[in-house]
Structure 1
Amino acid sequence: MAKEINKLDAKTIKNLSFDPDITNKYTDGGGLYLLVHKNGSKYWRFDYRRPITQKRNTLALGTVDNISLKEARLKRDETKRKLANGIDPAEERNNHRNEQKKKLENTFAKFSAEWLRIRQLEGKVDRETIRKLNKDILPFIGQKPITDLTVEQLEYDVTNSLVERGAFESARRVKSIMGMVLKLPFKKRLITYNPAYDITLPKPIKGHHNAIVNEAELKGMLQKIWRYHTDNPRARIRTEMALKLSAYIYQRPNEIRELLWEHVDFDNHRLCFSASKTHQDHIVPLSRQAFDILKQLEDMRTTSKYVFPSIKTSNESMSSDTVRQALNRIGYQGKHTAHGFRATARTILGEELEYRIDIIEHQLAHTVRDPNGTAYNRTKFLRRRRELMQLWADYLDTLRQGGDVSIFKPDQEDNLIKFTKYSVA
Structure 2
Amino acid sequence: MPKLAKQLTDPAARKAIIKPEPYTLASGNGLFLLVLPTGSKQWQVRYRTPEGQRSKKIIGIYPDVSIAQAHVLADGLHQAARMGLEVTGLYDDLKAKRKSTTDAEIEAQRQEQDRLQHCFTVISDRWLDDRRAGWQKATYDKNQFIVRKKLQPGIGNLDVRTMASKDVVDLLREIAAQTPSIAPKARQCINGVIEYCILRGLRGDDQVLRLKGVFPKLKGGHMPAITKYQEIGALMRAIDAYPGRVVRCALLLAAYTALRPGVVASAKWEEMDLEQGEWHIPGKEADGSNRMKTGNDHIVSLPTQALEALKEMQQFAGGPFVFPGVGNRNNPHIHRDALSKALRDMGFAGKHSTHGFRAMLRTVARERLKVDLDVLEAQLAHAKKDQIQSAYDRTDFAEERKSVMQAWADYLDELKVGAQVIQLKQA
TM > 0.5 fold call: no
Which category of TM-score, normalised to the shorter sequence, fits these structures? 0.3 to 0.5
Please, what TM-score do these two structures have when normalized by structure 2?
0.43
Please, what TM-score do these two structures have when normalized by structure 1?
0.43
